[in-house]
Amino acid sequence: MSEKTTTLPCPICKKPVALTDENVPFCSDRCRTIDLGKWASGEYRISSPILDPDVLEDLESGRIPRAEDDD
């Protein structure tokens, strides 16, 4: 039986981060700080924390879910 550690890509540097990591979803405290800076500068427009791997896949493939008014 192979033991697979579930990981998420660090939102900043894309490095795989184990869900057991103390800094998850970031690979390090440094990336966490960078992310906070992005939130503060309004670079991110998504209002909820991205912790769902499926959502991360969507983001990486450019399919960002949006609630657009299509009239």
Q: How far is the CB of 25 from Zn ion (least distance, A)?
A: 9
Q: Does 13 bind Zn ion (CB under 5 A)?
A: yes
How many angstroms separate the CA atoms of 29 and 24, rounded? 9
Q: Does 8 bind Zn ion (CB under 5 A)?
A: no
How many angstroms separate the CA atoms of 71 and 39, rounded? 30
Using CB under 5 A, which of the segments 1-9, 26-34, 38-46, 52-60 binds Zn ion?
A: 26-34
Tokens of 57: 């896949």
Q: Does 31 bind Zn ion (CB under 5 A)?
A: yes
How many angstroms separate the CA atoms of 20 and 53, rounded? 15
Distance of CA 1 to the CA centre of its chain: 29
Q: Does 27 bind Zn ion (CB under 5 A)?
A: yes
Positions touching Zn ion (CB under 5 A) are: 10, 12-13, 15, 27, 31
